[in-house]
Structure 1
Amino acid sequence: MRTARTWAVALTGVDGHLVEIEADVSPQTPDFRIIGLPDKSLGEAVQRVWNACTNTGLDLPRRRLTVNLSPASLPKHGSGFDVGIAVAALAAGGVLPHRTVGSTVHIGELGLDGRLRPVAGVLPAVFAAARAGFDRVVVPIANLAEARLVPGIDVHGAVSLGEVAARHGADVEERELEAVLLPLPERPDAEELDLADVVGQDDAVTALTVAAAGGHHLLLSGPPGAGKTMLARRLPGILPQLDEEAALEVAAIRSLTGEPVLALDSLPPFEAPHHSASAVAMVGGGSRAARPGAIVRAHRGVLFLDEAPEFARVALDALRQPLESGRMEVHRAGFTASYPARFQLVMAMNPCPCGNYGVRGAECTCPPMAIRRYGARLSGPLRDRIDIELHVARVAASRATSGERSTVTSAAARVRVQEARAAAAERWRGTPWKINGDVPGTRLRQGSLRLPGAVRAPLDRALERGSLTLRAYDRALRLAWTMSDLEGTTSPGADEIGRALFLKKGMAA
């Protein structure tokens, strides 16, 4: 039998597509070609596979060898197909048995000496293999811990191509090769971030708790040194820990970036890109292969934009689609990739370019036009998607140096947040939503959850006079329901509506 088949995985975003690797040997002039829409790095696999097989003592057939990657219409990129191509070619030449080769997925890059080198995206690739019904996967030894995070599939970590061939029953001389391992990331010691460190910012701590309980987006404005960054960095600590499904989603995204994944992390991610980040760095993408940007890396966690008006306008406007849909679509000339991107957005900004506008005892040197232009860098449509807008003032020196600590700790706030989310999840049981921040406004304005006219009257008046758009109206309703859940009441009252209006637009009811 001159044709052999095995399997690999092509990634488009976080979605894996099974690729059948067919190798065919024909009695013609010796040649080695790869067809099926490979990119340049995949086309170079010819030389890597040839040298790896030769240096391992595995002979490829010295005839015309054609490798087809099917489906041919699916773009394929990267070096993760090397092992599959080598295995299929060896099976076509009679070195490896067809049966075991055809029921195994092979992932990995080959070195010229035959060692298997790690590749990015192994976790989503193994997920795709498991969903497609495969129960055996071969990966580089460096990716073994990551691949084993997928339950219900037999994963073999190999050091070399010779080890892979021996696993399939080939008679190959064993060679001592040093395994190629991923360098362990240098992680700084975890800083203890507790809400108890935040002194004199009771309103801000309350707003942060409401944001965590309902999954609401937050804009903090105030002068430098008011504690905006301190507050934002403590938001992940009061969010509920990730369940296994969410932790796997986060780990799959980390895998796509090439970061080593050794275990699941239950702490929600925190991404804080620099204000000089480009739109591509925020969104993700690339000319040949898609890579997740900061928006996607913040999935299931917090995206913090410090000095938000300093970001490029196009980078800020890129947030609008994922804030509404919870997904990030990356469109390039050769491919389209879709990523999950459901995150909490926290933005911080100064009141003016110099930061002293409205600060008691400080002198603002900014002309009025510069102040207006600075605030206008956050577009109206983007601000409309923010649930909470809060001004944060500097803490008095007497309180800042008193050594006191807040009575609200992160542990206590997390308990309140979990209880409020449990109440919301019970209310939305049987629907696609679990937190108030995701619920469409029509569900809150109509039907059985529609509030009495006397309760929602302040919101209606603000909508009629144009102080609120309909989207902002809906966001204020969601805030009111979240505050009701935090208080343990069955539905919002006039007090919750008034506080929601204040948090959304700084307006009194």
Structure 2
Amino acid sequence: MPHVRTRSIVLAGTQGYPIDVEADPHHNDPRLTIIGLPNDQAQQTTDRIRTAMFNSGIPWPNQKLTVGLFPTTIPKTGPQLDLPIATAILAAADVIPRDGLAERALIGELDSDGRLRPGRGVLTAVLAATDAGMTRVAVPAANATEAALASDITVDAVPDLAALIRYLRGQEQPTTIRPSPAAPTDLPVNPAHVPLGRRYRLAAEIAAAGGHHLLLTGGTPTAARMLAETVAGLRPPLTGQESLEVTAIHSAAGSLPPRPTLISRPPLLAPHHTTTAAALFGTGIGADIGISTSLARIRPGIASQAHHGLLLLTDGPELPHGVLQGLEQPLALGHIRIPTPTITLTLPADFQLIVTSRPCPCRVGASDCACAPSARHRYLARIPAQMRAHCDLRLTIPHSQSGGMPSRPNGCPQESTTVVAARVAQAREAMAARLRRTPWRRNAQLPRPILERFWPLPTTVVRAAQRTRPDANTNDAGQAEATRILRIAWTLADLAGLDRPGIDQVDLAHELNSVHPGS
């Protein structure tokens, strides 16, 4: 009798890989052999399927069955493959028809009573099924709303194994789930209601427009959170593709609510300074994010969940050294690369960083601080030079204002959210038009040689950008500082509707790039 083929998806990080499940029947020997799973997982899968079939009133086939999982190069785990394996067994035993199984993805873990248990990463798996050309997918009923966020594929909500048999026999029509409407795109924070001083409100606007990372010294965690929320609130909503990518990442991480909608705003993640490398970079990843590990156990961490959004790190010097060093890869590349024995896995992590630090290691008020200047310098220098180099915007809140950010002076009206957000959107459009023939999309990404080659500025403007570092042409640190000034100046020009920055924009950029005390 010819073998039966069903199809499914296995999850690795934020990626799904198509899997074929092939069952070959042999008469008069009621054993099941699963090839492609580790022995312990194969036995557990067999036990779950047997128990689910028995409690669903489905007799176990009186024949030997060999089930193979292909391709062999992709590591696999058992639970989410329960449904396609059980379906292949039933089709091989002629309990259900075989027609149409190859065009349908089957995803789900069986409970002992035959029900399908909800799992993480369903949206990621469904998107992979769509890319592989599958036109229909059966998922646990509890995950159906999430699965329906993907387009161009029909989603069947399956409560249990017995219901799937009825569907495939044509005895009953499955419940087909339609996509839920996207969540509202209202701004989470109205900058006009946040007590930020002019300088800090401007920094938030520049960061939102140009994608610049920000380093803040002084202030309180509450002030840093307000600033980060302001940046997130001023950024435009995610595009359709970005929204799908971000929602799929949160699906793979298991952080979506029970009835999710597409994430339409840039996410803001703010882990505690005690967070571990595994929590930040991904479960199943070692302290060194280059360490090979089990592909099937990797799930995206906080850095990936901040993709297309913001990552706020308060008390930066308190973070573990391995975490601070590990952030260099996503800051430089926009993703995390993890080599495994079979493939190199890539986790998206293109986030905007806001990192804060107290001015000294003690936690007392500024007036009572007894830390020596050398101790303060060593403390701030815990933030690696590579991370500081990525931060174009560098602000220091004076000790006299360390309890919070100064408010705008009386009599100076604050602009509404609509006005500031519209200016940010206009600046990003101008930026995108100027960079459309390049691999870059934001001013913060531009290297200095590219700026000088394609968008040269008058000598007076360039010299103004270098004025605090006369060695800017010969010293790496001086060149890096001048590049930061030019990038901020270009964003200021975009916000002002100018074709290019001038002396005024460069002068203001210097104010917003004060030297970090640990530099």
> What is the TM-score when the length of structure 1 is the normalising length?
0.88
CA deviations over 1:196-225 (Å, ceiling 9, x no partner): 233362111111110100011001111448
Q: Distance in 2 between matches of 1:465 and 1:325?
A: 26
Q: CA deviation at 1:60?
A: 3.2
Alignment correspondent of 1:280: 278
1:66 Cα offset (Å): 1.4
Corresponding position of 2:229: 233
SS in 1 for 2:509: helix
Aligned to 2:513: 504
Give the superposition deviation at 1:465.
Answer: 6.5
In percent, how many aligned pairs have the same letter? 36
Cα distance between partner residues in 2 of 1:438 and 1:241: 20
* 2:363 equivalent to 1:367: no
**Does the residue aligned with 1:468 lie in a helix, a strand or coil?**
helix
> Equivalent of 2:426, from 419, 422, 435?
419
Name the SS for the 1:81 alignment partner.
helix
Give the Å deviation of 1:264. 1.1
Aligned mate of 1:434, from 418, 438, 441 = 441
Report the Cα distance in structure 2 between the residues aligned to 1:61 and 1:226, rounded to whole angstroms: 63
Deviation at 1:335, TM superposition (A): 6.2
Q: Cα deviations across residues 428-466 of structure 1 (Å, max 9, x unaligned)?
A: 22333332223343321213x122222111334521474
**Do the aligned partners of 1:210 and 1:479 also contact (CA within 8 Å) in 2?**
yes
Aligned equivalent of 2:396: 391
Q: Output the amino acid matched with 2:68.
A: N
Report if aligned partners of 1:223, 1:356 keep a CA contact under 8 Å in 2.
no
1:457 aligns with 2:463: yes
8 Å contact from structure 1 (residues 96, 170) kept in 2: no
Give the aligned partner of residue 489 of structure 1: 498
What is the match of residue 178 of structure 2? none
- Aligned to 1:378, the other structure's residue is in SS state coil
Is 1:269 paired with 2:267?
yes
Post-superposition shift, 1:195?
1.8
SS in 2 for 1:242: coil
What SS class does the counterpart of residue 84 from structure 1 fall into? helix
Compared CA separation, residues 31 and 404, structure 1 to 2 (3 A): farther
The reply to whether residue 382 of structure 1 matches residue 390 of structure 2 is no
Does 2:500 match 1:475?
no
Which 5+ residue runs of structure 2 have no aligned equivalent?
A: 176-185, 285-292
Structure-2 change in CA distance of 1:483 and 1:405 (3 Å): closer
What amino acid does structure 1 have at the position aligned with 2:440?
W
Unaligned runs of 5+ residues in structure 1 are: 180-189
Find the counterpart in structure 2 of residue 183 from structure 1: none
Question: What does 1:59-70 align with in structure 2 at a 5 Å threshold?
Answer: 59-70=59-70
Aligned residue runs from structure 1 range 57-136, under 5 A: 57-136=57-136
Supply the distance in 2 between the matched residues of 1:355 and 1:490 (Cα, whole angstroms): 46
Q: 2:214 aligns with which of 214, 218, 221?
A: 218
Query: What is the Cα deviation at residue 40 of structure 1?
Result: 4.8
**Matched residue of 1:157: which SS?**
strand
Shift of 1:374: 0.5
Q: Cα gap change, 1:481/1:403 in structure 2, threshold over 3 Å: closer, same or farther? A: closer
Q: Deviations over 1:174-210 (max 9, x none)?
A: 9xxxx9xxxxxxxxxx996322233362111111110
Aligned residues of 1:327 and 1:341 also touching (Cα < 8 A): yes
Give the direction of change, closer, same or farther, for the CA distance of 1:191–1:450 in structure 2 (3 Å limit): closer
SS of 1:17's partner is strand
Q: Are the structure 2 counterparts of residues 36 and 471 from structure 1 closer, same or farther at C-alpha, using a change threshold of 3 Å? A: farther
Q: Any conservation in 2 of the 1:352–1:375 contact (CA below 8 Å)?
A: yes
Q: CA deviation at 1:9?
A: 0.4
Task: Tell me the alpha carbon deviations over residues 349-405 of structure 1, each in whole angstroms, 9 at most, x when there is no partner.
Answer: 111112579x5xx13211333212201100111111111111123189998799999
| Cα distance in 2 between the residues matched to 1:158 and 1:226 | 45
Equivalent residue letter for 1:262: P
Instruction: Note the alpha carbon deviations across 1:49-106, whole angstroms, 9 max, x for none.
Output: 1111222233332222111110012101251111000001111111111112222110
After superposition, the CA RMSD in angstroms is 2.9
Q: Distance in 1 between matches of 2:406 and 2:331?
A: 37
User: For residues 231 and 135 of structure 1, do their structure 2 counterparts lie closer, same or farther at Cα, with a shift above 3 Å needed?
Assistant: same
CA distance in 2, matches of 1:459, 1:402: 29
Q: Secondary structure at the match of 2:80?
A: coil
In structure 2, what is the Cα distance between the partners aligned to 1:396 and 1:380?
27
Find the aligned partners of 1:415 and 1:93 in 2 and give their Cα distance.
Answer: 63
In the alignment, the residues of structure 1 paired with residue 25 and residue 351 of structure 2 have an alpha-carbon distance, to the nearest angstrom, of 51
Cα deviation for residue 308 of structure 1 reads 0.9
Task: Quote the Cα distance in structure 1 between the aligned partners of 2:165 and 2:384.
Answer: 59
Structure 2 CA distance, aligned partners of 1:371 and 1:77? Answer: 50
Distance 1:436 1:460 in 2: 18
Distance 1:278 1:501 in 2: 35
Secondary structure at the counterpart of residue 311 of structure 2: strand
- For residues 241-278 of structure 1, the C-alpha deviation after alignment (integer angstroms, 9 at most, x for no partner) is 11211111111011112233521121211100010011
Quote the Cα distance in structure 2 between the aligned partners of 1:271 and 1:313.
20
Q: 1:3 to 1:11 in 2, by over 3 A?
A: same
Q: Which amino acid aligns with 2:252?
A: L
More deviation, 160-169/427-436 = 427-436
Structure 1 249/191 Cα, relative in aligned 2: closer, same or farther at 3 Å? closer
Aligned mates of 2:32, 2:463 — CA distance in 1: 75
Q: Is the 8 A contact 1:214 1:437 kept in 2?
A: yes
Contact 2:73 2:342 survives alignment (8 Å): no
Cα contact 2:489–2:509 (8 A) shared by 1: yes
User: 2:252 aligns to what?
Assistant: 256
310, 319, 322: which one pairs with 2:330?
A: 322
Q: Is the 8 A contact 1:218 1:387 kept in 2?
A: yes
Q: Is the 8 A contact 1:37 1:73 kept in 2?
A: no
Are the aligned partners of 2:219 and 2:403 in contact in 1 as well (CA < 8 Å)? no
- The structural deviation recorded for 1:43 is 4.8
Matched, 1:337 2:345: yes
**Per-residue deviation, 1:339:** 1.4
| Cα distance in 2, alignment partners of residues 402 and 492 from structure 1 | 27
Q: Distance in 2 between matches of 1:93 and 1:225?
A: 63
Query: Would the alpha carbon gap of residues 488 and 35 (structure 1) be closer, same or farther in structure 2, given more than 3 Å must change?
Result: same
Distance of aligned partners of 1:43 and 1:397 in 2 relative to their CA distance in 1, 3 Å threshold = closer
Letter of the aligned partner of 1:425 in structure 2? A
Residue in 2 that maps onto 1:299? 307
- The 3 A distance-change label for structure 1 pair 391 and 162 is same
- The alignment partner of 1:19 has SS state of strand
